[in-house]
Chain A
């Protein structure tokens, strides 16, 4: 079974800083990896999707990388803003079985104005 770990569990940074969120997974046989943000009491908003054949994806101030061989993905947020405060979740999709997503427990980010 795929195990997904996110470190750190919580992170506070001053506004304007660049930051990196980490995600590691135990089974390199993933189909793709997806990063989400979750605001308190809300559902998940998809941020970036990286296919297994890709190494990174970019959207605005966000850049996600994927290294299957080491079982790691990172989410880089440039010039952080208070509106970026949320919980960030990474999830890997397996190559077999139900093709469901295996989620990490998330990193709770607080950007201090």
Chain B
């Protein structure tokens, strides 16, 4: 079946502009996560959604970052007034259930470059 998809695959933007990154999780997966992978660093958690519950935003690095998940499926990560330190690969993952017993399945990521 179809895996997690993300778009765009690459995005180059100028400092100060806003960007939107999209994630389509695996159909039927109720939990959705966003992570960021910066050059030379490990993956860091940003935000997660579970069904219709309020998202956990504890990993968001600043209030320039926000995310939505419409209809319990597609999610959009928005970065406002981008800075050069926002340059990274943004990865989305989904899993069937938040309960912890299930694997997280990752998309191919969006490589963001802020010039």
Interface residues of A (CB under 8 A from B): 4, 31-32, 34, 36, 41-46, 49, 51, 89, 91, 93, 95, 97-106
Q: Nearest A residue to B104 by beta-carbon distance?
A: A101
A98 B59 Cβ-Cβ under 8 A? yes
Identify the 5 closest CB pairs spanning chains A and B, nearest first.
A100-B45, A44-B106, A43-B108, A31-B100, A103-B43
B106 A100 Cβ-Cβ under 8 A? no
A105 B41 Cβ-Cβ under 8 A? yes
Any A CB within 8 A of the CB of B101: yes
For window 24-81 of B, CB contacts with A under 8 Å fall at 31, 33, 35, 41-45, 48, 56, 58-59
With contacts defined as CB atoms under 8 Å apart, how many contacts are there between chain A and chain B in the complex?
63
Any A CB within 8 A of the CB of B19: no
Residues of A within 8 Å of B56, CB to CB, are 97-98, 100
Residue from B59, B103, B107 within 8 A of A100 (CB atoms): B59
Contacts A97-B58, A100-B48 given; does A106 touch B100 at CB 8 Å: no
Q: Nearest A residue to B6 by beta-carbon distance?
A: A43
B104 A98 Cβ-Cβ under 8 A? no
Contact with A along B79-110 (1 / 0, CB 8 A): 00000000000010100001011011111110
Write 15 A-B pairs (CB below 8 A) sorted by A numbering.
A4-B42, A31-B101, A34-B103, A46-B104, A46-B105, A93-B100, A97-B56, A98-B59, A99-B31, A100-B45, A100-B48, A100-B56, A101-B35, A101-B43, A105-B41
Min Cβ gap A1→B in Å is 11
Q: Nearest B residue to A32 by beta-carbon distance?
A: B100
Residues of B within 8 Å of A95, CB to CB, are 100
Q: Nearest B residue to A51 by beta-carbon distance?
A: B101
Min Cβ gap A99→B in Å is 5
Residues of A within 8 Å of B31, CB to CB, are 99
Residue from B42, B103, B104, B108 within 8 A of A42 (CB atoms): B108
Residue from A42, A46, A89 within 8 A of B43 (CB atoms): A89
